């Protein structure tokens, strides 16, 4: 009996369809959607923490959750379309904003360990910016939002 050639799994087919940039956006979409969902209905001890009280004083936690969910949806859409710059900018911007909010909370209203959250979210924004600047392997097109290469 001859063995049938193995067909690629669903995940591999999806990765081939969306490419590496799209796969990165799918990973970011998971982060944004999970984090946003958690903010919509935080556990009582979390909501009572100084950090969450600080965030809720800026905007209600449900609004923050909605913003994160919106960015997650943008990342999902960006993963399957060619023009993905909106998704990349949104994914980077939410992390910069979130990191700066935690940093301000630590600095202005004494949110304990706010600097630690900032130390996670701000470098994560830098990683997103780096990923967004990479062209899809095998493509001659540069990412739209990174600008034109310099002529020497």
pLDDT tens string 48-86: 899 999 999 999 999 999 999 999 999 999 999 988 999
Question: Is pLDDT at 12 greater than 70 in this prediction?
Answer: no
The predicted-structure confidence for 104-143, as pLDDT tens digits, reads as follows: 999 999 999 999 999 999 999 999 999 999 888 776 655 6
What pLDDT score was predicted for residue 138? Answer: 73
DSSP string, 44-106: HHHHTSHHHHHHHHHS-HHHHHHHHHHHHHHHHHHTTSS--HHHHHHHHHHHHHHHHHHHHHH
What pLDDT score was predicted for residue 39? Answer: 95
Instruction: Tell me the pLDDT of the chain averaged across its residues.
Output: 88
Cα–Cα distance, 145 to 22 (Å, whole number): 15
Report residue 16's pLDDT band, with 50, 70 and 90 as the boundaries: low
Percent of the chain's residues with pLDDT above 70: 81
Taking residues 32-59, report their average pLDDT.
93
What pLDDT score was predicted for residue 18? Answer: 80
The pTM for the full model equals 0.82
Report residue 150's pLDDT band, with 50, 70 and 90 as the boundaries: very low
Structure tokens at 61: 């936690």
Residue 127 to residues 52, 111, 133, Cα–Cα distance (Å): 25, 25, 10
Q: State the Cα angle at 67 between 66 and 70, rounded to 5°.
A: 85
Structure tokens at 133: 């600047």
What pLDDT score was predicted for residue 55? Answer: 95
What pLDDT score was predicted for residue 14? Answer: 64
């Amino acid at each position: 009996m001859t063995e049938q050639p193995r067909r690629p799994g669903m995940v591999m087919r999806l990765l081939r369809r969306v490419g590496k940039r799209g796969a990165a956006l799918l990973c970011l979409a998971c982060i944004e959607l999970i984090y946003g969902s958690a903010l919509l209905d935080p556990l009582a001890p979390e909501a009572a923490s100084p950090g969450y009280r600080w965030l809720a004083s800026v905007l209600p936690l449900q609004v923050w959750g909605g913003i994160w969910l919106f960015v997650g949806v943008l990342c999902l859409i960006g993963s399957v379309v060619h023009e993905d710059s909106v998704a990349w900018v949104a994914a980077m911007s939410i992390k910069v904003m979130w990191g700066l909010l935690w940093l301000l909370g630590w600095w202005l209203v004494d949110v304990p360990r706010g600097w630690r959250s900032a130390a996670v979210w701000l470098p994560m924004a830098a990683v997103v910016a780096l990923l967004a600047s990479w062209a899809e392997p095998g493509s001659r097109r540069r990412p739209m939002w990174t600008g034109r290469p310099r002529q020497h």
